[in-house]
């Protein structure tokens, strides 16, 4: 049985070229994975978003930064946080002194939370991690 051992010496320019190619391939794979996950988050958030006028649902979109390596999926509608997290009397369920019912929101308890964006992120997170693991294999 012949065991063959070989050694290949690579010059610095070849090594630098190979690292650049590796970086381009990895970067492209990461960008592709982020784009796919961002679209999945957007679609799932739109499906879960409660609809009144449809403005909030229509405004959910991904925005890419840093040559596609950073993504923000969200909305610029001012009341989006109220829908996601709900509203209530100021000071309710906190350590602050009780406030009169007529303060801030009046006697009404507020609006219940109707999460749509956070659940979409939670659903996609393990899928994105799996995609990134495949990129780095």
Q: Is 80 helix (H, G, I), strand (E, B) or coil?
A: helix
Domain count, the chain: 1
> Whole domain around residue 81: which residue ranges?
13-136
7 belongs to a structural domain: no
Q: Are 116 and 49 in contact (CB under 8 A)?
A: yes
3 belongs to a structural domain: no
Q: Give the global pTM.
A: 0.73
Q: Is 71 helix (H, G, I), strand (E, B) or coil?
A: strand
Residues 37-87: tens digit of each pLDDT: 999 999 999 999 999 999 999 999 999 988 888 999 999 999 998 888 887
Residues 80-90: tens digit of each pLDDT: 988 888 876 54
32 belongs to a structural domain: yes
1 belongs to a structural domain: no
2 belongs to a structural domain: no
6 belongs to a structural domain: no
């Amino acid at each position: 049985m012949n065991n063959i051992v070989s050694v290949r010496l690579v010059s610095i320019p070849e090594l630098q070229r190979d690292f650049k190619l590796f970086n381009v391939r990895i970067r492209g794979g990461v960008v592709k994975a982020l784009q796919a996950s961002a679209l999945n988050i957007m679609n799932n958030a739109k499906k879960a978003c409660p609809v009144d006028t449809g403005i909030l649902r229509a405004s959910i979109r991904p925005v890419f930064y840093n040559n596609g390596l950073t993504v923000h999926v969200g909305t610029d509608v001012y009341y989006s946080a109220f829908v996601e997290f709900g509203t209530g009397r100021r000071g309710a369920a906190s350590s602050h002194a009780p406030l009169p019912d007529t303060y801030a929101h009046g006697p009404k308890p507020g609006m219940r939370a109707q999460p749509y964006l956070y659940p979409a992120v939670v659903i996609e997170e393990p899928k994105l991690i799996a995609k990134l693991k495949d990129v780095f294999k």
